[in-house]
Each structure stands twice: as structure tokens, then as C-alpha cells.
Amino acid sequence: MENERKLIAGAMVTLSLATAAMIVVPFMQLKDVPAPQALAPYTSEELVYIANACIACHTQQPSTTGAGIADASRGWGRASVAADYHYDSPPLLGTMRTGPDLFNIGARQPSADWHLGHLFQPRAYVPGSVMPAYRYMFEVKDPGSVAKGERVVSLPPGAVEEGKVVVAKPEALDLVAYLQGLDRTYTVLSAEEAEWAASRLAPNRLAKEPDEAVTDTNESEKANETKTNP
């Protein structure tokens, strides 16, 4: 009996230490992180992203380690920090990258028409795309029956049957507003923090083409702003 007691006590101690290290300490550290000034709050639009399980194929977390170097050079932006998720409830980091990271999709692709058309039929834009077509967020109508105020989607030729038009339902418009709002191209680190972060990058990773390795190739001006924050 003596040994069992020791075993159980030992297990409890180990478990509580692990809980403290993995859950309590990070929670204390991160619970009061303020929102970056440039980060706009979004409304219920996020719900459409959740409801349609976009997270099954898309992450929202470019990183600095390992693949993170590639993340920046793909134009997905700087590594994310806790403050970037201030308005997310729940945070939609995701783990699968069947499709590209969407953390900065609003900056990379600001066109509502492109997003609407792409949701209606991804393969009209990217041949062979495995992203599902979200046709149920749209209505296919005769041009005559389009009501005033309805949003007609401009599509590449052949994306819809001859003589028909595609109208976006409110959920498609909400989802696109959410995607357009995904823009974390602002700078989050102070100059000192950025310098420290840069000094932590393994030199051999930066040896070849430093510019390419750490910058956001997306938009050169914004990339320069975020360069200090690889």
C-alpha cells in the first residue's frame, strides 16, 4: 500500500507541475495582452468561417521556425504573436495547410469580386484546386430576376451556365468581409525586440539571400516595415 501511495502522490505532483507549466503560466502571461492599434475588431462574420470548417484546410499562423522561413518568403507575412489574436474567439490558428495560410489574405487579395468568385468556383481561378466550391452561399438566377441591392458576382467566362447570373447570399458577403479584414501587416515589435528577434535567427539560414529569407515578398513597401520582425 505504501508504494501505491507514493506512486499516486508522485503522479499527482507531476500532473500539477505539467498543468502549471503548460496551461496556468502561459495563461497568466498572455491574458492581458492588448490589441495592436492597427488591428480592427471583426463582428459575427468570423462565424461563417467557423461554420464552414475553412480551418480544416487553412492555417492563420505564419511562424519563424522551420517552415516559418518559407512562410515569409511565400508572402504569408511575419510570424504571428499573441496580440494578433486579440479579437479572435476562439483563435483560428489551424493545423492543416491543404490551402495557403490566410493570416494576411486581406492584404494579399483585397478584391471582394475575386473572393466571391473563388468561393463560388475555386477551379475557375486556380485550375485543379482541391478547395470545395461553396455554391450554397450563392444563388444562380436569370438576369431579369435579380432584385435591387443584390450582389451579382462577376465571374470568369464559363464559370456558370450560359445566360445565368450568380448572386451572393449574405453569408458569402460576411465571409468575404471577414477574409478582407485578415490583415496583420502592421509592425508588432518595438525596434529593440525586433533586433533581438533578428539576432536569434540562425546565421546559416540567412547566409544565402538575406532579403528573400526574411522579408514578406508580397508588397515591397509593407515588407520593408515588417522586415525587422521576421
Contact residues: ligand HEC, CB under 6 A: 49, 52-54, 56-58, 98-100, 102, 105, 108-109, 115, 122, 126, 129-132, 134, 175, 179
What's the min distance (Å) between Cβ of 150 and ligand HEC? 21
Which residue has its beta carbon closest to ligand HEC?
Answer: 99
Cell 451579382 belongs to residue:
152
Give the Cα separation of 219 and 88 in Å (integer). Answer: 25
What is the helix (H) or strand (E) element at residue 216, kind and residue range?
none
Least Å from the CB of residue 51 to ligand HEC: 9
Residue 52 contacts residue 194 (beta carbons within 8 Å) = no
Angstrom distance (rounded) from CA 126 to CA 151: 23
**CA proximity to 39, closest of 107, 111, 112, 99:** 107
Q: Indicate the residue among 48 and 189 with the shorter CB distance to ligand HEC.
A: 48
**Residue closer to ligand HEC (CB basis): 105 or 160:** 105
Q: Check: CB of residue 94 under 8 Å from CB of residue 88.
A: no
Smallest Cα–Cα separation from 84: which of 177, 186, 179? Answer: 186
CB of 227 to ligand HEC, least distance (A): 21
Specify the residue, 77 or 230, whose C-beta has the smaller distance to ligand HEC. 77
C-beta of 39 vs 179, nearer to ligand HEC:
179
> What is the DSSP-derived secondary structure letter of residue 212?
H
Give me the least distance between CB of 142 and ligand HEC, in Å please.
27
Beta strands 138-141 and 165-168: pairing type? antiparallel
> Which CB sits closer to ligand HEC, 36 or 99?
99
State the nearest-atom distance from the C-beta of 92 to ligand HEC, in Å.
11
Q: Nearer Cβ to ligand HEC, position 111 or 190?
A: 111
> Which residue from 99, 104, 95, 103 is spatially nearest to 119, judged by alpha carbons?
99
Q: Which three cell numbers stand for residue 64?
A: 519563424
Cell of 61: 499562423
Q: How far is the CB of 157 from ligand HEC (least distance, A)?
A: 18
Question: Taking a C-beta distance cutoff of 8 angstroms, is the pair 189, 229 a contact?
Answer: yes
